[in-house]
Amino acid sequence: MRACRMALLGIALTTAAIAQDSEPRPVEQIRDDAGSLLGFVETDLGRSFLRSAADLPEIEGERIVYWDRTKRRAIGEAEAQGLDEEALEPFRRLELGEDFYYNTAYGSPLAYCRAIDLAGSSGMRTVDGAGILDFGFGGIGHLRMLASLGANCTGLEVLDLLREFYREPGDTGEIDRASVAGAGDPGSIRLLFGRFPAEKPLTDAVGTGYDLILSKNTLKLGYIHPEREADPRSVIDLGVDDEAFVRAMFDALAPGGLFIVYNIYPKPSGPDEPYIPWASGAFPFDRALTEGVGFEVVKWNVDDSDAMRRMATILGWDGSMSLDDVFAMYTILRRPSE
């Protein structure tokens, strides 16, 4: 697990109980922020995504998860009760509610609106009936929003805490359509955990035929190919070589499907400072290799910092950080139509 995500997770778990008692409640804040962002997005797809927030359900009560941070393993209450005191000692008992359900350690699901708006500007007019794969989903909120618009969403993750947390009836499976979506078939969510495409059973479960693959803040150059020596815990081992990974993404897409990598990242460290692998937004794979696999490059390593900062200001990020030191970059690829 990446070190920065683990640090964020620690902060989120420390403050989760406090956030649950705050006003407005987390889902109400998301609804309010979604309305404020409507003037930021430029496409009907982006606007539909934001308007679907009005139908996000309230999450009542708290869920109990036991988390062993050292081994990155999570268990539920029933399993914990079956352990003796020594076996249970590494686990921290967590009571997590609506704030963690929607924001986890990584912030508002509405931060996906920029990537989804880019999909809209790249020719994707609707997600109704579309297959969407999110590599490193990090939280279920944006998947619920997309599923409520009729999308069939698959989220991929390695964080075992999320596997244990999102186990309640209604978290996955069919999702009721949002009011903005009108009539039609329900969308769906399924969550898969492990390393794709290194684990064949997982790769088989993921399948093919996706109209959109998203990856936000996961596929970064510094994570995949650190430019300096880095703590092994702060980088990502995909388990396959670059060509195998890029080909797996290509194969997972339907003809005409989009692969969008959107990264937000801090100011890189100086040469005399500790290396920060996540302070890189560049696409981590060689362009010639990517095109050689068969991808059409729609956009390559585009600086999106100004747009991201406008979004971040609306979401209130400027209250806790200097946005001058935060940047964004995206790459958009397409599998050619056959």
Distance CA 274, CA 293 (A): 35
- CA atoms of 79 and 27, how far apart (whole Å): 30
Average pLDDT across the chain, whole number: 93
Q: Minimum mean pLDDT among 179-193, 230-244, 322-336: which range?
A: 230-244
Q: What is the pLDDT of residue 232?
A: 85
Could you give the 3-state DSSP secondary structure of residue 27?
Answer: helix
Closest CA to 277 of 326, 236, 223: 223
Q: Is 336 helix (H, G, I), strand (E, B) or coil?
A: coil
Supply 253's token pair. 């897409």
**Domain 108-334 - what CATH class?**
alpha beta
Cβ burial, residue 69 (10 Å; 0-12/13-18/19+): middle
138: Cβ contacts below 8 Å, ≥ 6 apart: 5, 104, 105, 106, 157, 159, 162, 216, 217, 218
Chain-centroid distance, C-alpha 61:
24
Share of the chain above pLDDT 90, in %: 88
Cis peptide before 24 (omega within 30 of 0): yes
Distance of CA 126 to the CA centre of its chain: 20
What does the pLDDT read at residue 77? 95
Nearest to 216 by CA among 318, 328, 326, 299: 328
Query: Which among 328, 306, 331, 309 is positioned nearest to 318, based on CA atoms?
Result: 309
Is residue 256 helix, strand or coil?
strand
CB atoms within 10 A of CB 39: 10
User: How do residues 111-123 score in pLDDT, each as one tens digit?
Assistant: 999 999 999 999 9
**Pairing label, strands 326-334, 253-266:** antiparallel
Residue 18 confidence class, pLDDT cut points 50, 70, 90: very low
Q: How far is CA 27 from CA 57, 78, 187, in A?
A: 8, 28, 20
- Show the CA angle centred on residue 30, arms to residues 26 and 31, nearest 5°: 115
Domain boundaries, the chain: 108-334
218: pLDDT strictly greater than 60:
yes
State the distance between the two ends of the chain, measured CA to CA, in whole angstroms: 37
| C-alpha to C-alpha distance for 276 and 267, rounded to whole angstroms | 9
Number of other CB atoms surrounding residue 238 within 10 Å = 17
Interval 70-85: pLDDT, tens: 999 999 999 999 999 9
